[in-house]
């Protein structure tokens, strides 16, 4: 009876199982690291050697075994697991042990429609080949397991349906640098590209998600954040909703200032319409932010800013509370309140403050953040022509 186990290689061919190949890979992964053990990894792997098991499944068991051994007492297993994951990544992307040329990677990415083709229009073949010489693939092994795992899960370009990854870390870094300096003077831009590549590939600079995941792709965007000021008009409010959607779809985090939108119950068009206040519009922004996925990496997010003297501040500061209903809560946005020394002084003295609807005090909004704000605010408190205002305890609001 033949008990010989056959394994299936990445290319689909079958070959006899050879335990020595596993030993060689593990020995390579632990070389030079203290406090790690070949036998512990093999024991922890619990290899299930069934007929026609794939080499990729075997290797995945080794990665999981090493990652499960990471502890405070044995921290170097994070580098063992990182090496093993890098080994698998290279096999999947390169098809072997040796890296392809940068030029070939670029053309392959353009054919798959994952790389922006402008790179071969903006750079000569000689420049791209020179960039290829800058690459140091050994820097892949600087990553801990958590770092390279996050890169594979979130930032390397991949087919999000099949999970197929199309690049390794150093190719991603050099292409980010190339696209970042594409419009620089051709006489010296390679100098900038090399300096930037060295900085990001050695982890001296940490890149935000839109840059790390987006730059070099066909939908590239360089902005990490987008600030949107909403004016007190239907045109601005409507346009801001569109801007929130577009910016979120472009991988930006959003900052929305609603401090100029008038309060609920204030008259519109001479009283022919009663204003609904800020909360219904925040629900529109919330829906826009959460409707978009950013490269399937994360959902959108936005922070709403409002000044402490806004008439609806009491309602806004509880919008994330679990109490209440969906009608009077907007929980999927974050909030920040614009503060000033005048407010703090009244909190300390346990005095009242006055809240206003911004449409009645446009000059107060204009004075916000200037040395003259306190004077204008005091004048507004005394102005009997301002109808829509109310006094509350500063300390209670705080």
Each residue's pLDDT tens digit, 251-301:
888 999 999 999 998 988 888 888 999 999 999 999 989 888 766 667 788
Task: Provide long-range contacts, Cβ within 8 A and 24+ apart, for 65-72.
Answer: 65/41, 66/29, 66/41, 66/145, 67/145, 68/44, 69/36, 69/40, 69/41, 69/44, 70/145
Which one of 47, 74, 94 terminates a domain?
Answer: 94
Which residues are CB-neighbours of 19 under 8 A, at least 6 positions away?
none
Q: How confident is the model at residue 139 (pLDDT cuts 50, 70, 90)?
A: very high
Least confident of 9-13, 202-206, 235-239, 315-319: 9-13
Mean pLDDT of 316-325: 86
Percentage above 70 pLDDT, the chain? 96
Selected residue with higher pLDDT from 44 and 7: 44
For residues 200 and 328, membership in a common domain is answered with no
Q: How many angstroms from the chain centroid is the CA of residue 115? A: 19
Q: What is the pLDDT of residues 72-97, one digit of tens each?
A: 999 999 999 999 999 999 999 998 88
> By residue range, what is the domain housing residue 46?
1-94
DSSP character for 310? Answer: B
Q: Give the pLDDT score at 297.
A: 65
Chain mean pLDDT for the chain: 91
For residues 244 and 385, membership in a common domain is answered with yes
Q: Give the pLDDT score at 102.
A: 97
For residues 242 and 172, membership in a common domain is answered with no
Q: What is the pLDDT of residues 144-182, one digit of tens each?
A: 999 999 999 989 999 988 999 999 999 999 999 999 999
Q: Give the pLDDT score at 296.
A: 64
Q: Report whether pLDDT(13) > 80.
A: no
Residue 307: CB atoms within 10 A of its CB come to 22
Which one of 71, 94, 117 terminates a domain?
Answer: 94
Q: Give the pLDDT score at 49.
A: 62
For residues 241 and 380, membership in a common domain is answered with yes
Contact 196, 181 (CB under 8 A): yes
Mean pLDDT of 341-346: 96
Which one of 65, 94, 123 terminates a domain?
Answer: 94
pTM: 0.75
Mean pLDDT of 221-227: 83
For residues 86 and 106, membership in a common domain is answered with no
Residues pairing with 6 in the sheet: 16
- The pair phi, psi for residue 189, each rounded to 5°, is -70, -25
In 3D space, the residue among 360, 352, 363 whose CA is nearest the CA of residue 393 turns out to be 352
Q: Report whether pLDDT(361) > 90.
A: yes
For residues 171 and 197, membership in a common domain is answered with yes
Total structural domains in the chain? 3
Pairing of strands 53-54, 6-8: parallel
Q: How confident is the model at residue 1 (pLDDT cuts 50, 70, 90)?
A: very low
Residue 21: CB atoms within 10 A of its CB come to 13
For residues 320 and 210, membership in a common domain is answered with no
Mean pLDDT of 197-221: 89
Q: Give the pLDDT score at 22.
A: 86
For residues 7 and 72, membership in a common domain is answered with yes
Q: Give the pLDDT score at 79.
A: 97
| 95 Ramachandran zone, left/alpha/beta (phi>0; psi -120 to 50) | left
In 3D space, the residue among 296, 291, 191, 285 whose CA is nearest the CA of residue 240 turns out to be 285
For residues 149 and 291, membership in a common domain is answered with no
For residues 243 and 285, membership in a common domain is answered with yes
For residues 213 and 235, membership in a common domain is answered with no
For residues 357 and 377, membership in a common domain is answered with yes
């Amino acid at each position: 009876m033949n008990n010989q186990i056959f394994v299936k290689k990445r290319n689909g061919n079958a070959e006899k199982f050879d335990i020595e190949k596993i030993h060689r890979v593990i020995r390579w992964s632990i070389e030079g690291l203290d406090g790690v053990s070949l036998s512990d990894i093999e024991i922890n792997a619990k290899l299930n050697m069934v007929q026609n098991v794939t080499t990729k499944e075997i290797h995945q068991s080794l990665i999981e075994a090493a990652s499960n051994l990471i502890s405070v007492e044995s921290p170097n297993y994070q580098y063992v697991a990182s090496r093993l994951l890098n080994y698998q990544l290279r096999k999947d992307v390169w098809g072997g042990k040796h890296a392809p040329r940068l030029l070939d990677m670029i053309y392959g990415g353009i054919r798959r429609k994952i790389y922006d083709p402008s790179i071969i229009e903006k750079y000569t073949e000689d420049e791209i080949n020179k960039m290829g010489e800058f690459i140091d693939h050994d820097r892949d092994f600087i990553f801990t397991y958590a770092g390279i795992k996050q890169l594979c899960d979130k930032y390397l370009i991949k087919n999000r349906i099949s999970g197929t990854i199309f690049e390794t870390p150093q190719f991603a870094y050099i292409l980010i640098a190339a696209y970042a300096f594409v419009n620089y003077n051709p006489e010296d831009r390679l100098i900038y590209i090399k300096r930037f590549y060295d900085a990001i590939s050695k982890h001296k600079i940490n890149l935000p998600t839109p840059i790390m995941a987006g730059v070099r792709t066909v939908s590239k965007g360089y902005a990490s954040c987008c600030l949107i000021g909403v004016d007190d008009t239907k045109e601005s409010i409507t346009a801001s909703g569109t801007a929130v959607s577009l910016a979120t779809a472009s991988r930006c985090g959003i900052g929305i200032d609603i401090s100029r939108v008038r309060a609920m119950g204030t008259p519109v068009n001479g009283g022919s319409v009663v204003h609904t206040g800020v909360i219904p519009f925040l629900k529109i922004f919330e829906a826009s932010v959460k409707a978009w996925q950013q490269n399937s990496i994360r959902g959108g997010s936005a922070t709403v800013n409002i000044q402490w003297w806004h008439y609806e501040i009491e309602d806004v500061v509880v919008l994330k509370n679990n109490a209440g209903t969906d009608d009077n809560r907007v929980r999927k946005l974050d909030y920040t309140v614009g503060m000033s020394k005048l407010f703090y002084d009244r909190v300390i003295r346990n005095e009242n403050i006055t809240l206003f609807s911004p449409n009645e005090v446009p000059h107060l909004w204009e004075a916000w953040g200037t040395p003259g704000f306190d004077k204008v605010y005091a004048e507004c408190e005394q102005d009997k022509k301002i109808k829509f205002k109310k006094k509350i305890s500063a300390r209670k609001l705080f």
